[in-house]
């Protein structure tokens, strides 16, 4: 808490004219989504600045580009809450809701934020069909919350690896490396690798057809 508030006061020179959000960042998206995406935590000068997950940072550039390509978003970029972005059949959240120092949340932060993830899962579970976790920590947080909301989880826990998939009825869990600069700039995660994750989700979730109104 102290860190996110300090960042909001001190700001980054490039964003000195911004009024930073500087508070916990909620999940957002389509309340009837069949696709759930879980990240780690808001970026200090991304979500912590804009007030929306993966908005205003490089990881978001990768994520929303793929969501747009595969029909889960109406635009390929996310810069601010008022930019007109809409998610379609998709909801985005994170294991931790406040920007942590060095992007490394503490055990207490995970514990404090877990009830929010559990609540989102309980609300969305009836229609969810695919869950994409971005990174090992997001996978661990999801599996813990999924079990605590009354669902079965594999034992032993699945080994983390990009592209891994596991059936956890009624959903399929899909694992991706996080699109952090540490992964994208080193080549650990390529655009082709990242696209394969969302291409799978699109094939697993064909676009819904609106009901026709009777004449």
Residue-level pLDDT at 213: 54
Domain boundaries defined on the chain = 2-204
Residue corresponding to tokens 């997001």: 138
Measured in whole angstroms, the distance separating CA 198 from the mean position of its chain's CA atoms is 13
pLDDT tens by residue, 84-103: 999 999 999 999 999 999 88
The sign one gets for the Cα dihedral 158, 68, 129, 40 is: positive
pTM above 0.85, yes or no: yes
Listed residue (201, 184, 191, 189) closest to 161, CA to CA: 189
Contact 127, 34 (CB under 8 A): yes
pLDDT tens by residue, 94-127: 999 999 998 899 999 999 999 999 999 999 999 9
Cis peptide before 215 (omega within 30 of 0): no
CB atoms within 10 A of CB 3: 14
CATH fold of 2-204 reads Uracil-DNA Glycosylase, subunit E (3.40.470)
CA distance 63 to 149: 27
DSSP codes, 111-134 = HHHHHHHHHHHHHHTTT--EEEEE
56 sits in the region (left: phi over 0; alpha: psi -120 to 50; else beta) called left
Confidence of residue 210 (pLDDT cuts 50, 70, 90): low
CA distance 28 to 88: 11
Per-residue pLDDT at 209 exceeds 70: no
């Amino acid at each position: 808490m102290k860190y996110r508030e300090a960042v909001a006061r001190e700001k980054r020179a490039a964003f000195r004219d911004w009024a930073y959000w500087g508070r916990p960042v909620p999940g957002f998206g389509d309340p009837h989504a069949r696709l759930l995406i879980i990240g780690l935590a808001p970026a200090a000068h991304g979500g912590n600045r804009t007030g929306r997950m993966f908005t205003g940072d490089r990881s978001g550039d990768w994520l929303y580009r793929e969501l747009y390509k595969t029909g889960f978003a109406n635009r390929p970029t996310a810069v601010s809450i008022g930019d007109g972005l809409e998610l379609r059949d998709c909801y985005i959240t994170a294991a931790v809701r406040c920007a942590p120092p060095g992007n490394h949340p503490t055990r207490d932060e995970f514990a404090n934020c877990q009830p929010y993830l559990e609540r989102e899962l309980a609300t969305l579970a009836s229609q969810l069909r695919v869950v994409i976790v971005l990174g090992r920590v997001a996978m661990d947080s999801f599996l813990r919350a999924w079990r605590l909301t009354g669902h079965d989880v594999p034992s032993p826990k699945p080994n983390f690896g990009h592209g891994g998939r596991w059936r956890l009825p009624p959903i399929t869990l899909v694992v991706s490396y996080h699109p952090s600069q540490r992964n994208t700039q080193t080549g650990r995660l390529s655009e082709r690798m990242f696209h394969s994750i969302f291409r799978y989700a699109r094939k697993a979730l064909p676009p819904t057809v609106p009901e026709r109104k009777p004449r």
